Amino acid sequence: MSNYHIKHLEEYYQVYRKSIRNPEVFWEEIAEEHFMWRKKWNNVLSWDFSKPDVKWFEGAQLNITENCIDRHLSTRGNKTAILFEPNNPNEAAQHITYNQLHERVNQFANVLKSKAVKRGDRVCIYLPMIPELAIAVLACARIGAIHSVVFAGFSATALATRINDSDCKLVLTSDGSYRGAKTIDLKGIVDEALEHCPGVQAVLVAKRIDSQISMKTGRDYWLEPLLNKASKVCEAEVMNAEDPLFILYTSGSTGQPKGMVHSTAGYMVYAAYTFKNVFQYRENDVYWCTADIGWITGHSYIVYGPLANGATTVMFEGVPSYPDFGRFWEVVEKHKITQFYTAPTAIRALAKQGVDLVEKYDLSSLKVLGSVGEPINEEAWHWYNDNVGKKKSPIIDTWWQTETGGIMITPIPYVTPTKPTYATLPFIGIQPALMDDNANELKGNQVEGRLCIKYPWPAMARTIWGNHERYKNTYFSAYKNMYFTGDGALRDEVGYYRITGRVDDVIIVSGHNLGTAPIEDAVNEHPAVAESAIVGFPHDIKGNALYGYVILKDTGEGRRHDNLRKEINQIITEHIGPIAKLDKIQFTGGLPKTRSGKIMRRILRKIACKDTSNLGDTSTLLNPEVVQDIINNVL
């Protein structure tokens, strides 16, 4: 035994080399020793990136909830599995033990069955960060239904698109949600969405804010009475290794969001193994990831990874600024958090408030500080290191994606020496490659290029729901035999990786991936808008913010531009959600276009960044004169 828990740097290199030399043998050992299988596999891995077709642990049978819950009951039945910290600090936290989780997941699974949900059916989960969300996810997995969690900040239109794309037959939601001092009418949003979702047969509603909502007879049911009368016993459905476990939507640079499909066995093995090592989780630790389960970080590192390791995982319903900007630190002190995992945008927002609110609390329980979602800038890194970690807790800057299912490039705390702004070394089993503009791999150190992965890893997404061709084109067509991440990266003199950012039209705003195309589509819905182009520009707290260039149909109409700006952002909020609102909107007479009619975003990006000294060659433009005009009016 065992390469399951890596404890020093030499061991990392040794295990890494082994995992690369013979990945099948390596992953087979991990899978064999640390999980509960109903049946073992016939074949560890088969793969062909040209199709692409990847299968891990084929022939194996399992249920992921038996690995996340049942197998812990004899040793950890009374240990807290989920520690729920409510939005309101005066409301009591809830400790849900593994025994209780087992009962509640089974009851929930039985309720789903009573509503005719079967193996392979898709269930949309649109819930705030309350225990029912994690329980719903696990209940789906218990019966082999495929969950599709939609972040509860998305609008009705965005929700409807996602429900229809994967043809969900049931929606789980709540009467409403708390968000700091505000409440949000989630059920109202669901009702609006469902006007466009003929396939949805039932809606189960959790009670959270006790608001007056309308319930549609024959379609909508309160969850609680159903749970109360449901049996606490539910046999786990025996799933095949490659059966889809869930769908999770992520933005693409063009078109509709992509429903990334994750497998059961490979995803489980990788989520669990990365969790154990990347957070160096020990038995009595209290681990807290501040993400929402609506994102991949929450799937892998609030629910599946921690529970597969029998960990205590915190679910936080609130926001970092409520009741004040000391909330995170108050929670760390209160629950004696050992591992704290958050996003650079939160760190920047908190840093802006100064150190008083950090120093007010006892943070001495912390051992590991994580960062995820976007590059962490040097200033934020040092603030986090100095004031939260007191220079004692290593910062693990974890790079990964919805598509990768688990962490891919990261330091291992107390193992890998860290370096500000560097995600450092590939995780065990991960073979990164940097590619130049001519699609050649850049060998050696001190190089910069596009980041690809050369070999399959167990948690990689298998397809895009309903559109395998798009999966192939997006990720496997740019470079032969490689998975292309869409990110740029550099490798320094010792082989450490630093992620430099997206190289496509995905913009990461406050850690959320946003594709420009759907936002432009929303803007263009405004009756006064003829055309629009959206680019990102640097923002102190959000990392990037959105800059919209908008051509109006009739500028002579005399409408106030300020009103138009408000209306445009209102439309974006309705179509996507408030996270996609534009920070700046510049009205312009034209957009720089190539002769084939393509908008030259490169130029617009530079202008938005106020970096107009070198705009490159503009002579190939159809309308070079608009460039100066835009520069003259830049906001």
Contacting residues toward ligand WTA, per CB under 6 A: 250, 295-297, 371-375, 397-402, 423, 485-487, 499, 502, 508, 513
Nearer residue to ligand WTA within complex by CB, 154 or 549? 154
Phi/psi zone of residue 354: left (φ > 0), alpha (ψ -120 to 50 degrees), beta?
left
Give the whole-angstrom CA distance, residue 22 versus residue 306: 27
The CA angle 221-223-228, to the nearest 5 degrees, is 125
Span between the terminal Cα atoms of the chain, in Å: 61
**Cα distance between residue 127 and residue 151, in whole Å:** 8
Nearest approach, Cβ of residue 366 and ligand WTA (Å): 19
**Least distance in angstroms from the C-beta of 506 to ligand WTA:** 7
Cα separation, 486 vs 338, whole angstroms: 33
Tell me the C-alpha distance between 520 and 514, whole Å: 11
Residue with smaller CB distance to ligand WTA, 197 or 464: 464
Quote the tokens at residue 205: 């509603």
Please give the distance of CA 520 from its chain centroid, rounded to a whole number: 22
- Tell me how far CA of residue 142 lies from CA of 158, 254, 462, 536, in angstroms: 27, 35, 21, 41
Q: Which two tokens stand for residue 523?
A: 């803007």
143 vs 507, which CB is nearer to ligand WTA? Answer: 507
Tell me if 166 sits within 8 A of 247, measured CB to CB: yes
- The least distance separating ligand WTA from the CB of residue 349, rounded to whole angstroms, comes to 17
Residues linked to residue 506 through DSSP beta bridges, in sequence order: 515
Q: Which is nearer to ligand WTA, 400 or 479 (CB)?
A: 400
Q: How far is the CB of 151 from ligand WTA (least distance, A)?
A: 10
Residue 60 structure tokens: 């194996």
Kindly state the smallest distance separating residue 427's Cβ from ligand WTA, in Å: 12
Residue count of the chain = 635
Least distance CB 394 / ligand WTA (angstroms): 14
For ligand WTA, which is the closer residue by CB, 35 or 151?
Answer: 151
CB-based burial label for 323 (10 Å; 0-12, 13-18, 19+)? middle
**Rounded Cα distance, 81 and 632, in Å:** 58
Question: What is the smallest separation between the CB atom of 277 and ligand WTA, expressed in angstroms?
Answer: 16
Would you say 242 or 487 has its CB closer to ligand WTA? 487
Nearer to ligand WTA (CB atom), residue 298 or residue 548: 298
- What is the dihedral sign for C-alpha 91, 93, 96, 97? negative
How far apart CA 572 and CA 168 sit, in angstroms, is 24
Strand partners, 55: 46
Residue 398 CB, shortest distance to ligand WTA, in Å, is: 5
- What 3-state class would DSSP assign to 459? coil
Nearer Cβ to ligand WTA, position 124 or 489?
Answer: 489
Nearer to ligand WTA, 310 or 426 (CB): 426
Both tokens assigned to 615: 């705009």
Verify cis geometry, omega within 30 degrees of 0, for the bond prior to 131.
no
For the bound state, the minimum distance from the C-beta of residue 281 to ligand WTA, rounded and expressed in Å, comes to 18
CB-nearer residue toward ligand WTA: 144 or 373? 373
Least distance in angstroms from the C-beta of 305 to ligand WTA: 12
